[in-house]
Structure 1
């Protein structure tokens, strides 16, 4: 599965509550205050510890706070990651496989715990003001837990909206995600956060009680 924790780290930042940093906190809080829905394109670049590009990808991102999102890779592979607020569904089109997980189980296993919002952000991260540079206002987050896959996250905001996210992992690699064509508070139908699984696709149900009622099929 190519879904990595930097993705969940970014999404939880978008849906979480207030951070306790200085200027970065104010800018992040302004984002939470004014953004209820969001759509954007993204370009993702992963570099190794020598700065060499090891992977590139692009796609679209939809957000409906507090817990619904759709992250869709379109190039060079096709994958869809959806949360309807009750379950996560990860659809690898190339593998013809969908993985389903409870929100609770997923939140316990990853930084998506912060999807719960509020003080969870402060409980899980040390948050500092990253200052202003490259035309962006930055927030720097360091996980308090020692068993995470990444060392830190830098989130750059422009006009109170995330524009660039950099995740630094424990192997010295950096994943950068640049957002473009950002639309604030567009009308997003609920169907965007529901994944309809084709009949010929394998479903791996990782929920505690097996196939349960999740509000999406």
Structure 2
């Protein structure tokens, strides 16, 4: 039967409206990576605030109350802290003010660089979730990497993202649960001070 669902443009415009009008987004996540027939799973919690603040906590698989890794982007510096290694890496953030470049762009602008299409996904569609595929245009000499994004048709936020890299045969699927938008956040959410006694490694990005 003819499905009178929204077009890919309407889905994107709805998502863009939510993105531009929201201050922050948080969710529990599960990250599954497939690499050459092997599968690894990580779970954690993510808090993102526009335009470029991020806190990503990975839980210890054996004991979810323990932190396996903490990533904080504070707008100037990207911090990665691995408690069991007693190690912190810090790196200057580059590349403009937006953490997700292109997200606030108009659909037309997005189409200049990417092929975007809706893909039927019966199980998702039944739940009011729409699946889009985003590929760099081959004529622009882009990479072979592509994204699949599942968008919730009520909240207009991504509930799942799959990132495919055919060149090294990697697929990473991130699923979001318990999504909350515009919560009051503690000012310390995106601040990081290396704990005493840990080794701090500064990573210089090549110019």
- Report the counterpart of residue 28 of structure 1 in structure 2: 15
- Report the counterpart of residue 78 of structure 2 in structure 1: 88
Distance 2:134 2:191 in 1: 31
1:163 aligned onto 2:165 = no
- The alignment of Structure 1 onto Structure 2 pairs a total of residues equal to 180
Q: Unaligned stretches of 5+ in structure 2?
A: 1-7, 62-66
CA offset at residue 115 of structure 1? 4.3
CA offset at residue 164 of structure 1? 0.4
- Report the counterpart of residue 195 of structure 1 in structure 2: 192
- Report the counterpart of residue 201 of structure 2 in structure 1: 204
1:126 aligned onto 2:118 = no
* Correspondence list, 1:104-115, <5 A: 104=94, 107=95, 114-115=100-101
SS of residue matched to 1:200? coil
In structure 2, relative to structure 1, the CA distance for the partners of 1:124 and 1:203 (3 Å cut) is farther
Indicate the structure (1 or 2) with the bigger Cα radius of gyration: 2
Q: Quick check: 1:24–1:138 contact (8 Å CA) kept in 2?
A: no
Q: Quick check: 1:89–1:99 contact (8 Å CA) kept in 2?
A: yes
Q: Quick check: 1:46–1:54 contact (8 Å CA) kept in 2?
A: yes
1:67 aligned onto 2:61 = no
Q: Give the RMSD, CA atoms, in angstroms.
A: 3.0
Q: Unaligned stretches of 5+ in structure 1?
A: 1-20, 209-217
